[in-house]
Amino acid sequence: MTTMTDAERADKLVQRRTRMLPVLAILLITQQGAFLSSTNDGRTVDHVKIAAWVVMAAVVLLALVTGGGWIFPKRVRELANDESTQLHRLQAMRLGFINAMLTCFLLYVLGMFTPVPGRDAIHIVTTVGLASALISFATLERRALRDA
């Protein structure tokens, strides 16, 4: 059996991460859809659902900030988060921040015509910001991997 070098493991991690990011974004948006379409009337199941969404959003944010791959050795993680990856992550997070701000503006305007509950607004802003950053990061990484 051949053992992979750290560089090969980092390459695998980068490829796997690039495939996983859009899936995470879809999961986040789907959960968001389920939250908005349900009536939250204080049942225990609603609290569990909200807690699950918060945990997932926090994990996604942590993965986005750190680059993920926590089960891999430090050297592999460092390689998988090299210069080009850091730049892509920064670009993706900038886009996520801009989209989150634009969503805030839209919700503010919407709030002038119809009441927008605070929790719903937080859900929408968080989901738009995180999902757009995830999709942007995946797109930039996929483009960089092309022909590699």
Binding pattern for the stretch 118-147 against other proteins, x by CB under 8 A and - elsewhere:
-----------------------x-xxx-x
Q: Which residues contact 117 (CB under 8 A, 6 or more apart)?
A: none
Which position among 79, 100, 125, 128 is part of the footprint of other proteins (CB under 8 A)?
Answer: 79
Task: State the minimum distance, in angstroms, from the CB of residue 148 to other proteins.
Answer: 4
- Position among 4, 7, 62, 98 found at the interface with other proteins (CB under 8 A): 7
Cβ neighbours of residue 124 under 8 Å, at least 6 residues apart? 32, 36, 103, 107
Size of the site for other proteins (CB under 8 A): 19
Residue with tokens 């680059």: 67
Question: Looking only at residues 24 through 53 of this chain, which bind other proteins when binding is defined by CB under 8 A?
Answer: none
Q: Would the CA dihedral through 125, 56, 96, 146 be positive or negative?
A: negative
Closest CB 46 distance from other proteins, rounded Å:
43
In the structure encoding, which two tokens stand for residue 97, read together?
């921040």
Out of 39, 44, 71, 83, name the contact with other proteins by CB under 8 A: 83
Pick from 84, 97, 101, 108 the residue near other proteins by CB under 8 A.
84
Of 126 and 136, the one with the shorter C-beta distance to other proteins is 136
Q: Which residues of 10-32 are buried (b: 16+ CB within 10 A; e: fewer)?
A: bbebbeebbeebbebbeebbebb
Q: Does 14 bind other proteins (CB under 8 A)?
A: yes
Q: In angstroms, rounded to a whole number, what is the distance separating the alpha carbons of residues 85 and 64?
A: 11
Closest CA to 79 of 89, 64, 67, 91: 67
Q: Where do contacts with other proteins occur on this chain (CB under 8 A)?
A: 5, 7-8, 10-11, 14, 79-80, 82-85, 87, 141, 143-145, 147-148
